């Protein structure tokens, strides 16, 4: 079963059975599960990957074409089918297929499956978005980021899969990692082995890596239970990627960067239920009635190279960009003219200003390793908006001058939990009020402070957390040690993120517990602690 020992008994009737080795030998099978994504009021994108015959493993380029039928129904028994069609699985797309289904009812739960040569896929559950002009009581999203296969087990996905109250899961980037075996994390910190064992560079490499991730039962269970809304960050390509290269890319040994990114993007869109924008990237928007509009950013394809930490001239250079001109203009216009009460921004890297100058020296190296920046003179993380201050100033000034309220940035990347007010100039806060708020979610498995220090959680991090908050008054809370996920609940009065943490990322059966909740009241541009989770 796709959920056996992973997603719990509650998901067994939903996910159905995965074909075993004998079924794969006999003909087509669906060993990578099913998924859905990018929900619209009248439709959703469905995904699967067919293993057409023995030897047709991801990235091999082998396997005959297979005709694949799909069904969407109102019941899991498929007695009330409302849409059906067929697609063709071919080696050119690594035998992945998508069906962009339309003509469905808004705000409705559906079940779906694929069939090839009489073999059924596992059954998935999905949900359409509310009608564009509809009054919506609430929107509830699971929120995750940074899932390194070798760093631990994907228990966060299992716990999200077990929930029946989510409208979708928002993945904020680093869905896969590019490193080879033992490169990150290193040594005895490796919990399990990823495939291929070398760093991924070619199209075949990226396909194998995506396929290996999709073999994880907890990841399959999450995809089968909820539609996915995803953006990429750097590790879908290479660490600290920018438009012309990456920190973890050596042209002499690994070839042309443009060829590598083309391969990475092709594999990403093959293996994930994501609609590419007209620019062939992940920046796009989705609307949920009159309650919320979600702008999704791509902060890797258009950015200039990262500045050196402490290089104020480059950091403040107005000719350097994080977003690219087209995307920044699109975002400003979208936020200004959005008909929704809440303007949510799926934001791969943190927008809040953060200074680390008061952090004790012994924490700077481990923090730098988590954040991916040089340890010397650590003042800003130049891979996030702190390294591109002109883009940030332009966006935040635009929010202030146009009186755009209720903008909430939802952020991943740095393997820590944060709840922040977002002022135009942090040095003037709170004299100058914030213009937005930000919720940052920690990693599913990727190393954070306690992992890097090789200490137990919540033993040494309190010193660093206190120092960060003292130097950054707009930071309301930071948790540098936990792994887990968030649940965002939005209604007319407030947006609240409930932070859930795992008992142990190295335990396949890890439990999850509520850690904290923060909310921002409509019109306030301020985060405050909430006493309990929404659900």
Phi, psi (degrees; rounded to nearest 5) at 260? -65, -45
Q: How confident is the model at residue 195 (pLDDT cuts 50, 70, 90)?
A: very high
Phi, psi (degrees; rounded to nearest 5) at 10? -60, -25
pLDDT at position 455 is 86
How is the chain split into domains, by residue range?
A: 9-127, 139-529
Predicted TM-score (pTM) of the model is 0.93
pLDDT at position 278 is 76
Q: How confident is the model at residue 382 (pLDDT cuts 50, 70, 90)?
A: very high
> From CA 113, how far away is CA 426, in angstroms rounded?
50
**Yes or no: domain 139-529 corresponds to CATH 3.60.21.70:** yes
Is residue 293 scored above 70 in pLDDT? Answer: yes
Is residue 277 scored above 90 in pLDDT? Answer: no
Residue 288 near residue 139, CB atoms below 8 Å: yes
Phi, psi (degrees; rounded to nearest 5) at 366? -60, -40
Q: Could you say which DSSP state residue 46 is in?
A: E
> From CA 95, how far away is CA 130, in angstroms rounded?
32
Residue with tokens 């060829």: 259
> From CA 296, how far away is CA 329, in angstroms rounded?
14
What is the number of other CB atoms lying within 10 angstroms of the CB of residue 69?
A: 15
> From CA 177, how far away is CA 191, in angstroms rounded?
15
pLDDT at position 261 is 98
Residue 461 near residue 480, CB atoms below 8 Å: yes
> From CA 263, how far away is CA 207, in angstroms rounded?
9
Is residue 5 scored above 60 in pLDDT? Answer: no
Q: Could you say which DSSP state residue 130 is in?
A: P
243 burial type by CB count under 10 A (0-12 exposed, 13-18 middle, 19+ buried):
middle
Which fold, 9-127? Immunoglobulin-like (2.60.40)
Residue 349 near residue 380, CB atoms below 8 Å: no
pLDDT at position 2 is 30
- Contacts of residue 9, defined as CB under 8 A and 6 or more positions apart, other chains included, come to 3
Phi, psi (degrees; rounded to nearest 5) at 125? -120, 140
Q: What percent of the chain has pLDDT over 90?
A: 81
Output the CA angle 366-498-398, nearest 5 degrees.
80
Output the CA angle 294-267-242, nearest 5 degrees.
65
Q: Which two tokens stand for residue 408?
A: 């909430």
Widest CA span in the chain: 70
Residue 163 near residue 500, CB atoms below 8 Å: no
Is residue 17 scored above 60 in pLDDT? Answer: no
**Domains 9-127 and 139-529 belong to one CATH topology:** no
For helices 389-401 and 325-337, the axis angle rounded to 10 degrees is 20
Question: What secondary structure does DSSP assign to 93-123, as a single string?
Answer: GTTEEEEEE-SPPTT-EEEEEEEETTEEPPP
């Amino acid at each position: 079963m796709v959920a056996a020992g992973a997603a719990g008994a509650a998901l067994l009737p939903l996910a159905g059975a995965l074909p075993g080795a004998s079924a794969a030998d006999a003909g087509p099978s669906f060993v990578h599960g099913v998924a859905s994504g990018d929900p619209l009021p009248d439709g959703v994108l469905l995904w699967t990957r067919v293993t057409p015959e023995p030897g047709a493993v991801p990235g091999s380029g082998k396997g005959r074409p297979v005709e694949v039928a799909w069904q969407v129904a109102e019941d899991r028994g498929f007695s009330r089918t409302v849409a059906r069609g067929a697609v063709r699985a071919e080696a050119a797309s690594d035998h992945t297929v998508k069906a962009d289904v339309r003509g469905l009812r808004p705000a409705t739960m559906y079940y779906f499956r694929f069939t090839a040569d009489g073999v059924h896929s596992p059954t998935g559950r999905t949900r359409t978005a509310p009608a564009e002009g509809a009054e919506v009581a609430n929107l509830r999203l699971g929120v995750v980021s940074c899932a390194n296969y070798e760093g631990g087990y994907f228990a966060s996905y299992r716990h999200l899969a077990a929930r029946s109250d989510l409208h979708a899961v928002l993945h904020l980037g680093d869905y896969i990692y590019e490193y080879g075996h033992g490169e990150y994390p290193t040594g005895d910190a490796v919990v399990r082995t990823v495939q291929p064992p070398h760093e991924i560079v070619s199209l075949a490499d990226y396909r194998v890596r995506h396929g290996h991730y999709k073999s994880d039962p907890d990841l399959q269970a999450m995809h089968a239970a909820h539609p996915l809304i995803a953006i990429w960050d750097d590790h879908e390509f290479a660490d600290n990627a920018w438009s012309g290269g990456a920190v973890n890319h050596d042209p002499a040994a690994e070839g042309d960067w443009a060829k590598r990114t083309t391969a990475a993007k092709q594999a990403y869109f093959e293996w994930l239920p994501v609609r590419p924008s007209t620019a062939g990237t992940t920046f796009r928007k989705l609307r949920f009635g009159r309650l919320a509009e979600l702008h999704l950013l791509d902060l890797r394809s258009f950015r200039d190279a990262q500045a050196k930490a402490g290089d104020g001239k480059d950091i403040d250079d107005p000719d350097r960009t994080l977003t690219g001109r087209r995307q920044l203009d699109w975002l400003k216009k979208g936020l200004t003219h959005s008909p929704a009460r809440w303007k949510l921004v799926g934001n791969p890297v943190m927008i809040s200003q953060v200074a680390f100058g008061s952090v004790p020296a012994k924490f700077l190296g481990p923090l730098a390793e988590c954040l991916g920046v040089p340890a010397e003179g650590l003042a800003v993380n130049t891979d996030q908006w702190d390294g591109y201050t002109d883009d940030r100033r332009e966006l935040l000034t635009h929010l202030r001058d146009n009186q755009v309220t209720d903008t909430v940035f939802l952020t991943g990347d740095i393997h820590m939990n944060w709840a922040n007010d977002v002022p135009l100039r942090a040095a003037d806060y709170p004299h100058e009020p914030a213009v937005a708020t930000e919720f940052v979610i920690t990693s599913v498995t990727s190393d954070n402070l306690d992992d890097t220090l090789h200490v137990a959680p919540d033993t040494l991090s309190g010193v660093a957390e206190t120092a960060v908050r003292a130097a950054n008054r707009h930071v309301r809370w930071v948790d540098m040690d936990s792994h887990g996920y968030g649940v965002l609940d939005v209604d007319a009065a407030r947006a609240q993120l409930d932070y859930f943490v795992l008992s142990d990322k190295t335990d396949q059966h890890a439990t999850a517990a509520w850690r904290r909740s923060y909310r921002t009241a409509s019109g306030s541009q301020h985060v405050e602690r909430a006493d309990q989770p929404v659900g």
